[in-house]
Structure 1
Amino acid sequence: MAAESSVNGATLHHQLYGPQEGPPVLLVHGHPFDHTLWEPQARALSGAGYRVIVPDLRGYGRSALPAGAERTCLSDFADDLVALLDRLRVSDAVVGGVSMGGQIAMDLAVRHPDRVRALVLSDTSPVAESEDGKTFRNRLADRLLAEGMAGFAQEVIDRMIAPYNVTDQPEVAAHVLRMMRGTDPRAAAAALRGRAERPDYREGLAALEVPVLVAVGADDGYTPVADARALHELLRRASLSVIEHAGHLPGLEQPDAFNVALLSFLDSVAPTAR
């Protein structure tokens, strides 16, 4: 079911799947994507009895960027999601995110720990941006505003998914390209500028008591397996799943394997009545 909610000056489009009484799972897409990134997981989880909430972040997909916004911080996205949970009368949820979505999930968990039943962190990093990284993100923001998304999307498709999957899975590559090209450049630039200023989440994550699934594509070039292992070791109650034959977006590249790991984790922390 499609719905819209007004939160913090933005209108968030979101999709709701599964029974309302099922354990809630909030899935957060990365940059520069939209809620359809999670379609394979939404179908699998809702079929298993979970209530799945999949929003478009402000400025992405069908959610418009508020007028005048030039920087969107991870905390802005996280606060939107807390407000969305309030609108849906969800006291706490399993919160999962991939890439930037994983960083948003970290921010939400560290600043609003009472709203998080468990975490799923896929292909993401808790480390603050480096000075070189800040320069890169701000220059890329300027470029996207000047040129749009098409050239950038074509340049990075073989990093967003594994290069062999660009060839072997043309429908997945087309989906990823469609999401990237469809993103509002103003929203992408605002997120890049906000993400450049992100804090280091490691201390806050190390203090969390909730269970965490850390997932990563075996051939992720952005956040490699070594980064996922370091994140896993940082957490008190964590499991690690390395998804073979996948890059930065294993939930799309290898949905069956990703869903097995995800459902196994969910059934251990928030089982349904099935």
Structure 2
Amino acid sequence: MGPVTATVAVLDLPNRGPFPYRGAMTRTAEVNGITVSYDDAGSGPAFVLVHGHPFDRSMWWPQLTALTAHGYRVITADLRGYGRSTVVPGLTTLETFARDTFALIDHLRIEEEVVLGGLSMGGQIVMECYRLFSERIAGLLLADTFPQGETPEGHAKRNQAADRLLAEGMGWYATENLSKMMAAYNVTAMPQVAEHVSRMMLNTSPEGAAAALRGRAERQDYQKVLTTVSVPTLIVVGRDDEFTPVADAELMHRLIPESMLSVIDDAGHLPNLEQPAAFNAALREFLDQ
């Protein structure tokens, strides 16, 4: 894993939330007609992390701390429609998210190949990035995601959920999905983590979340793309993930030549938050190979 080193100045910020980190700069960039809010921390090879739905860049706090300490420059951004980035109603495709991601990389004048990681929808955005920009990627992290295209049933369910988000807001979604986003036993065992996950969901714009759901309903199948991956790849999944079970991770592991697979015990769909020490250990092993 050896992209050319890039550096960025850093500032100390107060600790924030249950997963504090230091040495981050919160910034905004104008790309593709929207304002993107992002953090840029550390120095070294660039590692870009893409959050899942319906979250924001704060889901990566434990990894930002670990990766900057490991000698990486870490960039985490709020996707359009999420966090503090511009909300664009309608339908947002994975291609749009992917092009936003590399527009930010261009804005930051990172010319070297980047390591690119994503969780859940973020993982599918990473797959789309590889389809579009493979020559600019040095390595991949695919966490709690799956490559299959949408089914007719899934297409209908995502659009129905989008309609309900616009009509009722995020409250019902957060209530119904918290015990699936995390392993149900961790919701009570890890109240700070559960509060963080719930807060991210409740703070998400219904219009942004609905646009992403409609876009994911139109996604392509990435299984063929994964067979072309020629860079080091780490696949991570929580052992008790209900949304993207271990079988999905094993499928990607078979499709991607020489990929690494790490199954995180005592975790559901968000092992990077539920078991950050184990998740970060898997990252370190991958990056040190």
For normalisation by structure 2, the TM-score amounts to: 0.90
1:121 aligns with 2:157: no
* Inter-partner Cα distance in structure 2 for 1:48 and 1:227: 29
1:8 aligns with 2:32: yes
* Inter-partner Cα distance in structure 2 for 1:49 and 1:97: 19
Matched with 2:286 is 265
1:54 aligns with 2:84: no
Q: How does 1:107-256 map to 2 (within 5 A)?
A: 107-256=128-277
Give the drift of 1:64.
1.5
* Inter-partner Cα distance in structure 1 for 2:257 and 2:31: 33
1:71 aligns with 2:91: yes
Write the letter of the residue equivalent to 1:75.
E
Write the letter of the residue equivalent to 1:128.
G
Gaps of 5+ in 1: 269-274
State the SS of the aligned residue for 1:94: strand
For normalisation by structure 1, the TM-score amounts to: 0.95
Give the drift of 1:237.
2.5
State the SS of the aligned residue for 1:112: helix
Runs of 4+ in 1 over 2 A off after TM superposition: none
1:210–1:237 Cα contact (<8 Å) kept:
no
Write the letter of the residue equivalent to 1:42.
L
2:226–2:252 Cα contact (<8 Å) kept:
no
Write the letter of the residue equivalent to 2:30.
S
Give the drift of 1:205.
1.2
State the SS of the aligned residue for 1:245: coil
Matched with 1:26 is 48
Matched with 2:13 is none
1:14–1:54 Cα contact (<8 Å) kept:
yes
Aligned pairs, number: 264
1:43 aligns with 2:62: no
Identity %: 53
* Inter-partner Cα distance in structure 2 for 1:64 and 1:192: 17
Gaps of 5+ in 2: 1-24
The Cα RMSD (Å) is 0.7
Matched with 1:271 is none
Write the letter of the residue equivalent to 2:208.
A
* Inter-partner Cα distance in structure 2 for 1:118 and 1:143: 37
1:110–1:208 Cα contact (<8 Å) kept:
no
